[in-house]
Structure 1
Amino acid sequence: MGAIRGRLEFRRTGLSTRSTTSYDRIMTAALIDSAVSLAFSLHANKGAYALLVGSGVSRSAGIPTGWEVTLDLVRQLAATTGKLDIADPEAWFRETYRQDPDYSDLLDQLFKVQAERQQCLKRYFEPDADEREQGLKTPTPAHHAIAELVALGYVRVIVTTNFDRLIEQALEARGVVPVVVANADQVRGMLPLVHQTCCVIKVHGDYLDTRIKNTVPELETYSPEMDRLLDRVFDEFGLILCGWSGAWDPALRSAITRAPSRRFSSY
């Protein structure tokens, strides 16, 4: 209300609005919602923005994080020793095995072949009949909105920390077949971004690949290949953050902060 009253005062005194340029800019910035600014930027700069999609987008679909999968596996392991309903799976594992629980190590120890590991992980990331009926572990309206932006050409690059395939499923439902890059080998073999309709960069990997990153040491660094790709994305594209806090991803934070330029805004 103070801002409105101030603007009325300028009008009452007969001062020209042209003489209050700085004031007007401040008032306009305060009045225009950031979502409106984002919409204008997307419309005017088609394909110039990349999305950074975090776990907040998949959590609403009932998808667990990699760490939650790890802790659930630890609970199941504890149950085989007669320890049911342990309050702190991480502490139990550390006390029992004298090391921190690790996603990849656990899967390798519990399941000896890749096919067994994949079958185990499917129940965490793929819906059963009841979950599908409830709309769980399937693309949410947010995933479909992302797919629509891609189909219309407003977004071509999606960076995500999520292991699931909900983004890919939403894209395919919209008729878009993305190039998915989830490890250093795929980065080396990919076409340049300029030649791609849609590229999904899964910086922490895919749930069907046991090399996914979810422990603190794993999240501190990326491969040189992934770092170089992210450097290009964050230098050449604006950035729209969706459901990502940055609290647990030091390597990704570093990639964003070391970008040499800011050609487009971040939202």
Structure 2
Amino acid sequence: MPVPEIKEIDFRQHVSQNGKQIMWFLGAGASRSSGLPTATDLTWDLKRRYYCAQENQDVVAHDVSNRSIQARIQAYMDSRDFPPLWDPGEYSFYFELLFGKDHAAQQKYLNTALATEKISSTIGHRALAALLHLGLARVIFTTNFDEVVESAYASIAGKNLTTFHLEGSYAALEALNAERFPFYAKVHGDFRYQTIKNLTDDLIHNDREIQKCLVAAAARFGMVVSGYSGRDGNVMAMFREAIAQNNSFPYGLYWTVTRISRVEKPVCELMDYAHSKGVKGGIVETGTFDEMLVKIWRLVAGKNPDIDAKVRSATASQVRIPLPPAGTTYPILRMNALRIAGFPRTCGAIDYVGALDVGQLKSVLFEKQPPCSVCYTDRILFWGCGRELAKIYEPDRVKSISSFEIDDFVCAINASTYFKSMVEQSVATALVADKPLLPRKRSKTWYAIIDHEEADSDALKPLREVLSWKDRDGTVRNGIVDGRVPGLKDVYWAEAVSLKVEERNGQLWLLLQPDIWISPNKMREEATDFLYKKRIRRYNKQAFEILSAWIQIFLGGVGKGDASVVAYKGTEHPAEFQISMRSAFSKRSD
């Protein structure tokens, strides 16, 4: 019997009309837009950590969203007969592999990965919290560790949401029977209250009291499942137990997914079983959790304006704040920004037959490291060597390589983060070209760092001079710009500066932030004390001089005028930028 696919509009209307009789079940996917990782994300992170530790690789350089890196790491795991990709036991296996039975270490890892301060409340969670507050939804179950729902409810209702976890699990069924709504129950329990419950040994003996509550609720409510993959056999068995009751889910069972094509086999089997038992509902393609809840919230009639404003608190609106008149008096406040006075008017473009596979393109760029910066839209835009790029990515599908005119450079940066990323990479490449510096990237930020092999170069003299110091006898010692980190084996440091491009008031600015680079970057946390001691005495005067030294190294001087820097010189599409040698400043207003 085929699993019915429900039209989204029919689903939304059903939920809006019967919200009080429908409970929610949230998986990790519902919290992903809040910036918190799913179980799959954590599994890949654990794999990456193990691989990098065993192979002495830099964790930061291995972005597991890149398919090529995923394939490399998975091949390494397969060579050791570890669980195959997507095996239900992967999550537990890699936790055991890295932490063993050290529950404190497990908890510390998850505390960091799922820290409350990382939560960024989304409109989906605020909308669901508002439904709870208004009595239009009454019960939520979840497999999640995070506190996204609790935080959203507190922001909407101004009070705490009743939550049942391990130590209060016995009370969940009591709350249901006494109709003390709304409440929120964590099926796996919360790792903050006992050992981590998302490990297989624990899942088998999961908290039956909260499961009993869900099974009992299934005889009274319908249910919407969102953000849950269905890979956990323990939870799916609980669903089957609920379905097996007489007259289960009287208001329907709806399994929402971002795309029908991505439904897991266990979900299809469960929904097929529910259908065979006469349970109404089916699988619904709703887009993301946020998209679904926004559409449901729009159907709520007579919304309290104050609650609606809280739900839509992130809604953008245009404002005009007049700038104060330019200051004319001292003191002068120096900024760490240089105006980008000139930029390329064209870039290269490669048109392909058919659509681009962005994931595959990113993998190729990571593996081959061609001499170019790339932006992908319906075509590939680039600065650098287009012929080299065309050779390494789908050469048989290349339709043409041409020049592309950039109509409004500043507008393009504001409109596309992909284009901005290409600009920042090109600026970083241009600034370090032909200098004893190396471009490096941490997270989404580019850095220029001292090349250890050329730390004594004359080009770095301005930086060594401002970092010099006097001994007690008055002898001046040359500043040191790189070295080993004391107490850490094979860990090195080097002077560095972060490079960001920002638009303000219609102009582009290069932001410089002097820093210390740690190699390998995965050891940065262990070098925290060293970094603190290294920077603690860099007061205003020396910080001022260090910024000037970097400007002199990059541009050849400090003061009036613009300097030209070029990325990918000698290629068919170089990127040339004119950058002011005078940093931005502000005078006091009268």
Partner of 2:161: 178
Aligned residues: 222
- In the alignment, which of 62, 66, 80 is matched to residue 39 of structure 2? 66
Partner of 1:109: 100
Partner of 1:233: 217
Partner of 1:213: 198
CA displacement at 1:241 relative to structure 2? 2.5
Does the 8 Å CA contact 1:56/1:243 hold for their aligned counterparts? yes
Q: 1:60 to 1:113 in 2, by over 3 A?
A: closer
What per-residue deviation string (whole Å, max 9, x for no partner) do you get for residues 25-70 of structure 1?
xxxx99x73312321223xxxx322111222211222322234324
- In the alignment, which of 76, 85, 88 is matched to residue 49 of structure 2? 76
In structure 2, C-alpha distance between the alignment counterparts of 1:105 and 1:211, rounded to whole Å = 11
Partner of 2:247: 261
Q: 1:82 to 1:164 in 2, by over 3 A?
A: same
SS, match of residue 54 in structure 2: coil
- In the alignment, which of 187, 196, 203 is matched to residue 203 of structure 1? 187
Q: Give the structure-2-normalised TM-score.
A: 0.33
2:230 is the alignment partner of 1:246: yes
Partner of 1:158: 140
CA displacement at 1:145 relative to structure 2? 0.7
Q: Give the structure-1-normalised TM-score.
A: 0.67
CA displacement at 1:170 relative to structure 2? 0.7
In structure 1, C-alpha distance between the alignment counterparts of 2:121 and 2:93, rounded to whole Å = 28
Q: 1:221 to 1:246 in 2, by over 3 A?
A: farther
Write out aligned runs for 1:83-162 (5 A): 84=57, 87-88=73-74, 91=78, 94-95=81-82, 101-102=92-93, 105-106=96-97, 108-109=99-100, 112=102, 114=104, 116-126=105-115, 137-162=119-144
Partner of 2:29: 56
Does the 8 Å CA contact 1:104/1:211 hold for their aligned counterparts? no
SS, match of residue 223 in structure 2: strand
SS, match of residue 240 in structure 1: strand
CA displacement at 1:168 relative to structure 2? 1.1
Q: Higher helix proportion, which one? A: 1
Partner amino acid for 1:61? S
Q: 1:229 to 1:113 in 2, by over 3 A?
A: closer
**Structure 1: gaps spanning 5 or more residues:** 1-28
Please say which of residues 142-151 and 76-85 is displaced more in the overlay. 76-85
What per-residue deviation string (whole Å, max 9, x for no partner) do you get for residues 115-162 of structure 1?
x5443223311276xxx6xxxx32211111110001101122101122
Higher relative contact order (CA 8 A, sep 6+): 1
Percentage of identical aligned residues: 25
Partner of 1:5: none
SS, match of residue 150 in structure 2: helix
Partner of 1:16: none
Does the 8 Å CA contact 2:47/2:73 hold for their aligned counterparts? no
Q: Higher strand proportion, which one? A: 2
Does the 8 Å CA contact 1:54/1:242 hold for their aligned counterparts? yes
Partner amino acid for 1:264? Y
